[in-house]
Structure 1
Amino acid sequence: MLKYISDRAVRIAYCRNHLLETARKNGWLAKAAYYLVLDVDVNANNILTLQNFLTNFEYDLSDWDVMTASQVMGYYDIWALRTKKVVNYDCWKMVGYYRDKLGYCQKSLVERFVLAHKHTIPRDHKLIEVQSAFGGFAVYNTRYLNGCIYSGYEYQDSICEHVPFHECIRRNGGRIFINPKFQNAYSN
């Protein structure tokens, strides 16, 4: 089945939904307080430690509903990132639009819409509330997952699968954060 899904985001969404639906059908979500989602390729290193993971629980549990990871050398997951003011758009759609419709240079567009947001977040920085983020690892309070699914497309175009999933969590009243102490990788 997966070899017939050519779009990477749609394929990843299919897999994430399969795991989520399995957890729902088996009653595991109903019994668990938290649901963990991680990309094993990103987290296969010595940066992610138990201590880094446990920093999520140093914060008052009533203050957050989703914690997402950060990286040592600069936050890398800009496609999943959405904020109210700074990154309130799909970075790759912006690159494509300005390149294809207006003829701008691909390199300068990537620098403006992607690389400009790959900041190193100091470990001692406070939690950063966002509309969406992932960073390769997220901890979800299961109370806010009701009715939420991943989708890798929107209006017949590719979209980061985390964005619609996080929109649903926010509609359910959930708050999403990047935890600067929850480091899981170097940025590439």
Structure 2
Amino acid sequence: MASIAALLFLCQGGFAVAAASCNEEEVSCMIQMPANRHESLLETLPYETTEAVPVDFNLGDAHISDKVVLVAGLVKSLDAENAESIKSALKFCSYFDSGKCGFSVMGSEVEQTHLREILDIDSSFDFVRDPGDVPHEGPRPYMLAGFRNALLDHVLEKQWDYLVVADLDNTVKWDDQTFGVVLNALDKEDQWDAVAFSSTNYYDWWAARCDSRSKNCLSHKVCLDRREFPCIMETLQDSDTSHFRQVRSAFNGLAVYKRDAIGDCKYDAKNRDTTAPGHKDCEHVGFHDCMTANGARFMLNSGRLHGWWSNLGDEPEEEEQESKDEGQSEEAES
């Protein structure tokens, strides 16, 4: 059986393995490694860094009334590092009416000490063990889509108006910058049905599609070509945090969805780019394509989440072999 721990290491923005062993396809969608641990690799990694532009929004007086928000995300394991990040994220609920903000987090492993610490802060915190029945077959995005759908099915049984889907393995820093960006978008909910954001570190090129002409950049091996992402680059250069651009798909650690926008859509890693070789795509693209096909406005906001990266462990050898095995499997299938 597949585990979230194995998959999230590789599949938050494409393939994430040791840079020294990456081929072009793997490097094209790598998650940015933490600068303090891999400074010598920074020039080789495909991310864009921008300044954290303050949001024109009074965070001190911010409060969302009469709306219910649920934050949902996957973690490899609920351990000491992730627990601290989640504790910071829980502060997001202070901007909503009591009882109208919650968290549902799915993981393969949990350290009970850290779970108890979180429950002491928020007794409604919902930790969901991964279902254990996601088939261990096909490309990793298919398996990751399976986990995301399992969590989505779980949260759809709850009552909420906004679903905040977040990668909770220290991909987004939950601080005033991030809170201000998300709350500013919620305050302008008339402009979107689903919304993703700019970031101080933008890495998720595989999930990004400006319009129907946008390519599956991993299959075409153009994730390093910024000309393929004009909507992303324009947003990263835009300092007006009130701007929303309509796009086909984007995800960079966090996105917000209205309940009606999701409908019966599911995550789907099938490749629908008929000009692209291969049979897989980023699972976020299928999810977002379903929404926009149903008339939802998927927007990209110029507000910059505070992105940071400390979710890569020191486990390259096992993952390198898995990548080789996947490559051999795909060659055999073709």
Provide the TM-score with structure 1 as the length reference. Answer: 0.76
**Can you list the C-alpha shifts for 1:36-95, whole angstroms capped at 9, x where unaligned?**
111112114657532222111232x2221011122114x32211111127x611111111
**1:170 equivalent in structure 2:** 292
Residues 91 and 113 of structure 1 are in contact (CA less than 8 Å); yes or no, is this contact kept in structure 2? no
Within the candidate set 201, 206, 211, 1:79 is matched to 206
Residues 132 and 163 of structure 1 are in contact (CA less than 8 Å); yes or no, is this contact kept in structure 2? yes
Q: Distance in 2 between matches of 1:169 and 1:116?
A: 21
**Equivalent residue letter for 1:127:** F
1:111 correspondence with 2:227: no
Between 121-130 and 110-119, the greater mean CA deviation after superposition? 110-119
**Can you list the C-alpha shifts for 1:72-121, whole angstroms capped at 9, x where unaligned?**
14x32211111127x611111111xxxxxxxxxxxxx5532688766333
Q: Distance in 1 between matches of 2:203 and 2:306?
A: 11
Q: Secondary structure at the match of 1:2?
A: coil
Provide the TM-score with structure 2 as the length reference. Answer: 0.45
Distance 1:52 1:116, change over 3 A: closer
**2:220 equivalent in structure 1:** 94
Within the candidate set 1, 5, 12, 2:144 is matched to 12
1:183 correspondence with 2:305: yes
**1:157 equivalent in structure 2:** 279
Q: For structure 1, which runs of at least 5 residues remain unmatched after alignment?
A: 96-108
Q: Distance in 1 between matches of 2:307 and 2:176?
A: 5
**Can you list the C-alpha shifts for 1:150-184, whole angstroms capped at 9, x where unaligned?**
01233771100011111111122110111111413
Q: Secondary structure at the match of 1:178?
A: strand
**1:137 equivalent in structure 2:** 254
What is the root-mean-square deviation in Å for CA atoms of aligned residues? 2.8
Matches within 5 A, 1:51-62: 51-59=180-188, 61-62=189-190
Residues 173 and 308 of structure 2 are in contact (CA less than 8 Å); yes or no, is this contact kept in structure 1? no
Residues 71 and 187 of structure 1 are in contact (CA less than 8 Å); yes or no, is this contact kept in structure 2? no
Q: Computing the radius of gyration over CA atoms, which structure comes out larger, 1 or 2? A: 2
Q: Distance in 2 between matches of 1:53 and 1:148?
A: 23
**1:103 equivalent in structure 2:** none
1:23 correspondence with 2:185: no
Paired-residue identity, %: 27
Task: Give the number of aligned pairs.
Answer: 168
1:32 correspondence with 2:160: yes
Q: For structure 2, which runs of at least 5 residues remain unmatched after alignment?
A: 4-135, 273-277, 311-334
